[in-house]
Amino acid sequence: MRQKRAKSYRKQLLVYNHTFRFREPYQILVDNQIVTDCSTSNYDLEKGLHRTLQAEVKVMITQCCMQALYEANDQNAIELARRFERRRCNHNPKDPKTPIECIESVVNINGQNKHRYVVAAQDVAIRRKLRQVPGVPLVHISRAVMIMEPLSDASAKVSKRKENEKLYKGLNDPKYTGVKTAAEDVKIDDKPKPKKSKYGPKSPNPLSMKKKKQEPKRNREDSTEDQESSENKKKRRRKHKPKTEADTVTEPAASDSLGQQ
């Protein structure tokens, strides 16, 4: 597959993923005619679908389409179809529906592709009917090349409407998430916030901001012992009176009296 075609297919699948919530592995619903064409041309249908959608696929076939292959009595096509998962269409096996009616009833549920099927059909009538249902990717084989059709008009309208809702919903709907009402609105200062310069003061070292470890509380007994030891260490000093002149005069007089005796 060429790079340009692969890129366009990838864009289409992104629309189906975001708008219609398609997820891997994609469920591929095939009709009896594409199975017959692949068996006659020895085309690997499952590998071709995987290469076209660029993702994991789960190939399925309805009971009515399987009954149409039994009626055609093509053993190679029957053996190929038996590899695929059987999709119950809840139609009477004794009175089966035509492939176009069966596939339309399975895909088109109340005007939408509820189960998110990718339809691989060679029948032009099936593709023409399913183009009217939004969100149905259509695949067919043309000259041994598997092609995915571009978005139908119904799918493109739904995708455009949802994109517009996402764009304008926040402006018109106050209940939309991310939009504040008048009661919840917060006042904002008109002054612009000053820009931080590269060369300004930097934040302090986080290691220097650690809190100091508090010392463990001591018991009462330890505190009393500390008080007693501190009191013992303190010595009382007596204050001596300074000597006066009278004391100095009396002392030599006493010594003289003793010498005369």
* Whether the predicted pLDDT of 189 surpasses 50: no
pLDDT tens, position by position, 85-114? 999 898 988 889 999 999 999 999 999 999
Name the pLDDT band for 135 (thresholds 50, 70, 90). very high
Name the pLDDT band for 148 (thresholds 50, 70, 90). very high
pLDDT tens, position by position, 5-38? 999 999 999 999 999 999 999 999 999 999 999 9
In a domain, 182, yes or no: no
More confident residue, 249 or 199: 199
What is the predicted pLDDT for the residue at 188? 44
In a domain, 177, yes or no: no
Percent of the chain with pLDDT over 70: 69
User: What's the whole-number mean pLDDT along residues 215-238?
Assistant: 59
Q: Which own/partner pairs from 40-48 qualify as long-range (CB within 8 Å, at least 24 positions apart)?
A: 40/76, 40/77, 41/144, 43/141, 43/144, 45/80, 45/120, 46/83, 48/141, 48/146
In a domain, 154, yes or no: yes
Tokens read off for 138: 């259509």
Query: Which amino acid appears at position 200 of this protein?
Result: G
User: What's the whole-number mean pLDDT along residues 209-229?
Assistant: 64
In a domain, 141, yes or no: yes
What is the predicted pLDDT for the residue at 214? 72
* Whether the predicted pLDDT of 57 surpasses 70: yes
Of 82-86, 92-96, 187-191, the least confident: 187-191
In a domain, 53, yes or no: yes
Instruction: Return d(Cα 28, Cα 25) in angstroms, integer.
Output: 9
Q: The domain containing residue 95 runs over which residues?
A: 3-159
CATH number of domain containing 30? 3.40.50.1010
Mean pLDDT of the chain: 81
Residues 6 or more apart in contact with residue 239 via CB below 8 angstroms: none
Identify the DSSP state of 206.
G
* Whether the predicted pLDDT of 231 surpasses 70: no
In a domain, 143, yes or no: yes
In a domain, 206, yes or no: no
Task: Looking at the chain, list the stretches that DSSP marks H as alpha helix, in order from N- to C-terminal side.
Answer: 3-20, 32-41, 45-53, 63-72, 75-81, 99-107, 124-130, 153-172, 220-233, 245-260
What is the predicted pLDDT for the residue at 2? 82
Name the pLDDT band for 170 (thresholds 50, 70, 90). low
Identify the DSSP state of 208.
G
* Whether the predicted pLDDT of 171 surpasses 90: no
What's the total number of domains in the chain?
1
In a domain, 27, yes or no: yes
Percent of the chain with pLDDT over 90: 56
